[in-house]
Amino acid sequence: CTPPQRRPAVPADFAALRSALRHSRSGDTVEVSPGTYGGTDNTALHFYGQEVTLESPSGPEAVTVSCAGLDNVRGLQIIQQSGWSPETTRTAMNGVTVSTCGSPSVLGGGMVIMRAGLTITHSRIADNAALAGAGLYLQDGHVVIQHVAFTNNKAEQNGGAG
């Protein structure tokens, strides 16, 4: 029997994005209220091997994951971990901006996806920096991208993406 889908909300149910994702299970949609979410509890996000959707019903103009003031931090870090199932393209981010993440010394400024998957829709990846893949760095993974703007991302070597 499949458990019913839950819709935990940030910040109503959880103060931070990482807590909401950590306590979610496959099939859940984490709804994010308008605002800028920064700091270590709201960046370097991963989905803990679950097929969860991180969503802003208000769209990318209203919700930003920001790494401003943090060194060498990515917005999303979807990397298959030992003991976790890999995220698939049924794991999703919808209606969110990821900005001011990374640094010229990391792979994947805005987000990195390794040995995992993600679907990104109606989002914005902007103003990120990296050695390679400033907006998005993908290695041995699968990504579905629909209606996503990549703007002003700067890579030192390869793949600025906008």
Residue 15: count of CB within 10 angstroms of its CB: 12
Q: What is the pLDDT of residues 11-68, one digit of tens each?
A: 999 999 999 999 999 999 999 999 999 999 999 999 999 999 999 999 999 999 999 9
CB 126 within 8 Å of CB 97? yes
Residue 92: count of CB within 10 angstroms of its CB: 21
Torsion angles phi and psi, residue 25, rounded to 5: -130, 165
Q: What is the pLDDT of residues 107-137, one digit of tens each?
A: 999 999 999 999 999 999 999 999 999 999 9
2 pLDDT exceeds 70? Answer: no
